Every structure is written in C-alpha cells, then in structure tokens.
Structure 1
Amino acid sequence: MEKWSVSTTTLAASTAVMGWLLLVVMGGPVLHKVGGSRGWIDHDVNYTEWSSQQHVYVGDWLLFMFDKRYFNVLEVNKTSYEKCEERDFMKNVTRGGRDVVQLTEAKTYYFLSAGGYCFHGMKVAVNVQQHQQPAEPSPAPAPAPSSAAVSPAFWPSIVTGVWIMVAHVKLVLMG
C-alpha cells in the first residue's frame, strides 16, 4: 500500500483555495466591474443599463478601471448626479485607475466622471440592497418521514460544495 505525504504548505494552500471556493459557492462579497468588460473608459457604454442588470448587495465592491489621465470617479449625491455637477462631490474615488469602492449601506450610490464626461453618459447610479435573510420559519408540525430534509433550492449549493471537497481531496492526495 502506498503512503501519501503532503507538505504543510500544500495543505495550507489547498485549504485556503477550498475555503475561498466555498465562500464563492455559498455567497460572499462580489466585485462588480463597472461597465463590464469595457470598464469606466468609454462614454459609449450605457452605464444605466449596466447597473440595472446587476444584483448588488451590502458588502459588495465596485471596480472602476480607467485611464486616470482622462477620467476620474467622484461619488456625488442624487442632485449632482442628475445635473452632472462635479463640484461639492462627496468623495473622490480616483487613486490609480483601478479603484475599488466597498458598498457599506443599502442605498443608491451615485458616481460620475468630471471634465464634461458625465454629460456624455459617464455616470452610474448603483442600487445596493440588503441581503435577504431567510424568513423565520413559523412553527409547523414535524415533517413526515418521506419529506425532504433540505430545501430543493439548496441542492445545487450542496452538490457544488461536495464536488469542491472531492476535487480538493484529489489534489491533496495527488500532491
């Protein structure tokens, strides 16, 4: 019979990867690249349409990718957003052109690019929602022995989690 040996580094790294994958499967903060593949560099992108297709929750992050020689990112209030007014902004998000903003509250966040770019469509309003908490179950009679113990909607997560664990064990054993 073969004896398997695994280095501590390999085990630690594979455990970290497995933890990260389980976090992704079970849900965690999401990084949303503003404007999708085109980023925050093109006034031809319909940022309103992009935003309407996103499901953004408290704790998620926005990634703005742009050329800081031309564009910037300012967080503004609703009035400034609607009028493309860049003065009296709330926060200048611009750092290096690959800038992130964590969304810490359930509200609508407003961002624009100054220098006239806002008037050409470089502005985005992102509606951030609170994560839906599972509804508190009302007291109910004990389930009949033939009923499922786990909600059918949860099976894909369980199957994916088991698959990840099997792949992890294979990787560790193959070493």
Structure 2
Amino acid sequence: MGRINLWALLMYVTVMMVTEVESSLHRVGGGKYSWTSDVNFSDWSNHERFYTGDWLFFGFDRTRHNILQVNKSSYEQCIDTDYIFNVTRGGRDVFQLLQPKPYYFICGRGYCLNGMKVAVNVLPQPPPSAPITPASTASTVLIPSNAFTIATLSFAFKAFML
C-alpha cells in the first residue's frame, strides 16, 4: 500500500472516530434540586432522555441519605434490603448507565416513602451520523471509537512511515 493510500485510510478512520456520540451527565433532580426528600424525581426523569454510557450525579448529605440501586418491586414498595448496588460513597456520587434498560434507585433510611426514589429508562445510543465516505474507498472500515484506538493507529502509522 502506497504512502498516499495509507494516509487517506488514516484520515478516513479518524473521521469515523470523530462521529462518536458523547455521554451526558445528568444531575438527579435537575439543576436546582439534589437528592433530597419532597422532590418529584419521577417528574424530572420523565423529562430527561437517558442513553447507554450516560452518568447520573447524586448530590446529598451522606449522614442522612443514601442511594441504593434496586429492582422494580423494591422500588415500588420502598424496600431497602436485598439491593443490587449501594451507590453511596461520599455525598457527590455518580453512577454510569451501562445497559439499555430501566434502572431503579431509592434512598433507604425511610426517605423512599417521602418520595426519594427515581426510575430512569435507558435507551441504546442512537447511531452516529454517517461520515462522508471518500469516493476512492472500496469498502468501509469499522473501528471502535476510543482514545486507545486513536493512539494505537497513530503509533502504527508513524512506525510504518519510518
């Protein structure tokens, strides 16, 4: 493969990687609320759109509240035993939504009964917009979009050019 064709391939792969969809950080409850009682978190989550890879940010007083990921039944009945995962760490905690499915979170210690619970429905990432395909390219190259891939391709290209 000539140096010019390799350069064109590298540029094409770079364009493919730039079309990557970025994750979003959602402050649970919105801008003016944090993880606290007497807030309608269901109303907030119904007005948000969550995708795989997005993050939830919980800001709260960890001496009074916690965050437990639970199943649907425990969410509906405010049961804080047999939880899936305890998100609580320091009062400014994040949780990444890794799968397209509903996630359920409650505050234990009796606060779930005061409305400290939220359900979020996570959707798959929408497909990225199609990159412009150079006319001279005979086939499409699919490469994962991440910084490691960019660094590896850059290193390989430099090594090949030596």
Common fold by TM > 0.5: yes
Is the contact between residue 24 and residue 54 of structure 2 (CA under 8 Å) also seen in structure 1? yes
Q: Is 1:74 paired with 2:62?
A: no
1:104 aligns with: 98
Matches of 1:123 and 1:89 in 2, distance apart? 13
Q: Is 1:93 paired with 2:87?
A: yes
Counterpart residue type for residue 40 of structure 1: W
Is the contact between residue 97 and residue 122 of structure 2 (CA under 8 Å) also seen in structure 1? yes
Q: Is 1:38 paired with 2:33?
A: yes
Distance 1:39 1:111, change over 3 A: same
Q: Is 1:126 paired with 2:115?
A: no
Deviation at 1:34, TM superposition (A): 0.3
- C-alpha RMSD of the superposition: 2.0
Counterpart residue type for residue 45 of structure 2: S
Number of residue pairs matched by the alignment: 112
Deviation at 1:132, TM superposition (A): 2.1
TM-score, structure 1 normalization? 0.60
Q: Is 1:114 paired with 2:102?
A: no
2:12 aligns with: none
5+ residue gaps in structure 1?
1-22, 137-175
Deviation at 1:127, TM superposition (A): 0.4
Deviation at 1:48, TM superposition (A): 0.3
TM-score, structure 2 normalization? 0.65
Matches of 2:128 and 2:96 in 1, distance apart? 24
Q: In percent, how many aligned pairs have the same letter?
A: 50
Counterpart residue type for residue 96 of structure 2: Q
Deviation at 1:134, TM superposition (A): 6.0
Deviation at 1:133, TM superposition (A): 2.1
Greater Cα shift, 26-35 or 120-129 = 26-35
Matches of 1:73 and 1:93 in 2, distance apart? 5
The equivalences for 1:162-173 within 5 A come to none
Distance 1:31 1:122, change over 3 A: same
Counterpart residue type for residue 126 of structure 2: Q
Counterpart residue type for residue 63 of structure 1: F
Counterpart residue type for residue 32 of structure 1: H
